[in-house]
Amino acid sequence: MSINVEKSFVENMFSLDGKVAIVTGATGALGGAVAAGYGFSGAKVVLSARGEEKLKAYAEELDAAGVATAFFVADPADEKDVKDLIQFAANTYGELNILAACHGFNAPKNIIEQTTEEWKKIMDADCTSVYLLAKYAAARMAEQGKGGKLVITSSARSKMGMAGYTGYCTAKGGVDLMVQSLACDLTTKCGIGVNSINPTVFRSDLTEWMFDKESEVYKNFLKRLPVGRLGEPADFVGLAIFLASPASDFLTGGNYDATGGYWAC
């Protein structure tokens, strides 16, 4: 039997050399890790978030580390902002090859106390925003005729309900189904791979309190985590690079477990 895998492909299958990537939520723990990972894998990275001060500071940090970096302040739930972000990336680096949507929002509350306005804000921030980014990023990629990758951060809660999370779980469940439908829309026609990453708790400013190993919250969480610990931002990077790279060219419409085994238990 002859070998049908080329050495050059294997050596470069995770490389993002020459690619242009937009990363939303780039000042958050996961978005920041993905941006660094893409940059260190050879991509030119456009960072995006809603706050200019942190965004500018992180862009300067990545630039100092040797990553070709630009930044653009945008609300991913605002259609004009999204259009302008996509255009900025194309104007700055000539094209767009990868979109990593890493932003998110939640305001936990029992549905009886939650207002309709709060529900709409969660849905817009976590679901409508993904639709807008996918729509305009895919249009740019289709126009270029080179295919591309959409890597969407969803949640373990997309398939598991939780008290106080009616809005968030619904929005993330919608994201997972959207990813599957986008794959049907975009992969055959445009060569665009579309997949989601579904994380459980990863360390961030908002979740730091959950990492107290003496707390009952931590102890109870670990009962359903075969990996034996909560997630660190670096744990997220490998899957994000894989789904943006040639190594995942046969994969589309997938919702990929980044839960440390939480879904298994």
Digit-coded pLDDT (tens) for 193-235: 999 999 998 898 888 888 888 888 888 888 888 999 989 999 9
Residue carrying structure tokens 């939520």: 25
pLDDT at 212: 87
For residues 144-167, give the mean pLDDT: 94
Residue 246 identity (one-letter amino acid) = P
For residues 43-68, give the mean pLDDT: 97
Residue carrying structure tokens 């920041």: 32
For residues 41-61, give the mean pLDDT: 97
The domain segmentation of the chain, as residue ranges, is 13-259
For β-strands 98-101 and 69-73, DSSP reports them as unpaired
pTM of the model: 0.95
pLDDT at 186: 98
Active site members? 168
Fold of 13-259: Rossmann fold (3.40.50)
pLDDT at 176: 98
Joined tokens for residue 110: 């029992």
For a pLDDT cut of 90, what percent of the chain falls above it? 85
